[in-house]
Amino acid sequence: MKDVLHIEVPSFPATVEQAAHSSYRNRPVAVASGSGGRAIVLSASREARQEGIHRGMLLREALKLEHRLIVVDSNPELYQRAMTAITDQVSHYSPYVEPIRYGQVAIDMTGTTRLLGRIKDSAYRMHKDIRDSFHLTSSIGISVNKLVSSVAARYIRQYAELFDVLPGNERTFLDPLELKMLPGIGHGTDRALLEELNLKSIGMLAAVPISKLILVIGKNALTLHQKALGIDLSPVRPPEQRLEIKEEYTFSEDTNDDHLIMGVVYYLIERGCSRLRQQNKKINSFRIFCRYSDSKIATRTVRLPEATHKEYLMFYHTQKIFEQLFERRTRVRYLSIGFENLIQSAHQTSLFSQVIDPDAAKHGDLHQAMDKLRSKHGYPIVRFGITGEVQIDDRSVARA
């Protein structure tokens, strides 16, 4: 039986800003994507949330609710440093520490009781260490797997700092909780379909026969069914190289113009590839994130046949899944692209690489030349036609 902890610092970016700036503490703070008319709240502190401000809200609407709101630009480098510091801190308790996302860390504490004492005591010490060292308030869930621990940490954060789901009680804990507490149930298609079945709790989802669930949901049915049962066999893995580069863009006006949207996608890929080449890195997958004008979101991972840092190859594969990602005809407000699992660039050519462009060498020389020009004179100095309608504003692009 495993002992897995999940540490969560709610509203991590805004909370880190408060910890880094003493003048922000106990005041409403919002981290936003730029400062234009279409800027979005990316994270809101506890004080801001109490005023009705939430993630995904337009910044101008948030300012109407709270005129004292402190607005700061997103600072991914600061948040990554904070994540690294927290990970290093809790690594004293176990070598198996996995950063999940900003403000969330999973720790496998199996077999540590003889050396460190009860798991609850270790968890409380971690909570105290994070509070004293970084001025951050965390909640911690304990269970036999990552899934239930994460739900427990999210559930308890409104009431206390620690929740221990005893082995064998996973279903008892999960069943009465609202469906939205289950990871994987968001604002997308899955949640809409489940609402059509009038499912209100995790227990109700677990009770639906898997054969019926497959008819309604499709390929995600088995995964959601296992989650509802509290089953999660994934181990806690220390990170090799996680998401390191992120490019994002907020449209000046919400749009469903396919040509403009694809122009922005190419622009974001271009910016990311330039940074990959600067770091001598390549990727074999990247994630596209889309937020619509009604605040619903969609994500899609684009997997590449081989590692690359060439934008035209990435864009070629993105075009294949364009209609799947933007299947809703609702206007798009915000796009971001995350470049995952960065690996060291190698110059050896694969014997079995898929040749998409016979002029690949020419493309490589062209992009190197463009990189040099842009590093000296800025991005707009030279552009491809597909990005011609994209409004370039450096404030709309956050660097990780």
Instruction: Write out pLDDT tens, residues 173-207.
Output: 999 999 889 887 765 556 666 777 888 899 999 99
Identify the CA nearest to 17 among candidates 76, 96, 88.
Answer: 76
Q: Order of strands, edge to edge, in the sheet holding 162-164?
A: 97-101, 104-108, 4-8, 139-143, 162-164
Give the gyration radius of the chain's Cα atoms: 22
Q: Which CATH class is domain 1-165?
A: alpha beta
DSSP string covering 139-202, please?
EEEEESSHHHHHHHHHHHTTT-SEEE--TT-HHHHHTTSBGGGSTT-SSSHHHHHHHHTT--BH
Q: Which CATH class is domain 173-228?
A: mainly alpha
Average pLDDT rounded to a whole number, residues 282-296: 85
Q: Using an 8 Å Cβ cutoff, are 196 and 221 in contact?
A: no
Q: For residue range 238-249, what is the model confidence (pLDDT) as tens digits?
A: 875 455 688 888
pLDDT of residue 400: 37
CA 107 to CA 113: how far, in whole Å? 14
Kindly list the domain boundaries of the chain, sorted by start residue: 1-165, 173-228, 245-396
pLDDT of residue 193: 67
Average pLDDT rounded to a whole number, residues 216-221: 78
What tokens does 268 get? 């974001």
Same fold, 1-165 and 173-228: no
How far, CA to CA in Å, does 345 sit from each of 152, 287, 306, 342? 40, 20, 12, 9
CA 240 to CA 327: how far, in whole Å? 34
How far, CA to CA in Å, does 74 sit from each of 34, 77, 79, 220? 8, 9, 9, 33
pLDDT of residue 361: 56
CA 40 to CA 252: how far, in whole Å? 11
Q: For residue range 140-174, what is the model confidence (pLDDT) as tens digits?
A: 999 999 999 999 999 998 888 899 999 999 999 99
Q: Using an 8 Å Cβ cutoff, are 249 and 335 in contact?
A: yes
Q: Which CATH class is domain 245-396?
A: alpha beta
Longest dimension (CA), the chain: 64
User: Judging by DSSP bridges, how do beta strands 162-164 and 139-143 pair with one another?
Assistant: parallel
CA 203 to CA 185: how far, in whole Å? 14
Q: For residue range 60-92, what is the model confidence (pLDDT) as tens digits?
A: 999 999 999 999 988 888 998 999 999 999 999
Q: How confident is the model at residue 28 (pLDDT cuts 50, 70, 90)?
A: very high
Q: Which is higher by pLDDT, 362 or 198?
A: 198
CA 78 to CA 11: how far, in whole Å? 14
Q: What percent of the chain has pLDDT over 70?
A: 86
Identify the CA nearest to 80 among candidates 399, 395, 341.
Answer: 399
- Residues contacting residue 173 through CB under 8 Å, at least 6 positions apart: 143, 148, 151, 152, 165, 230
How many CB atoms within 10 Å of residue 92? 12
| Mean pLDDT over each residue of the chain, to the nearest integer | 84
pLDDT of residue 353: 47
Average pLDDT rounded to a whole number, residues 111-134: 94
Q: Using an 8 Å Cβ cutoff, are 30 and 71 in contact?
A: yes
Q: Is the model's pLDDT at 398 over the cut of 50?
A: no
Burial 164-184 (b: 16+ CB within 10 A, else e): bbeeeebeebbbebebebbee
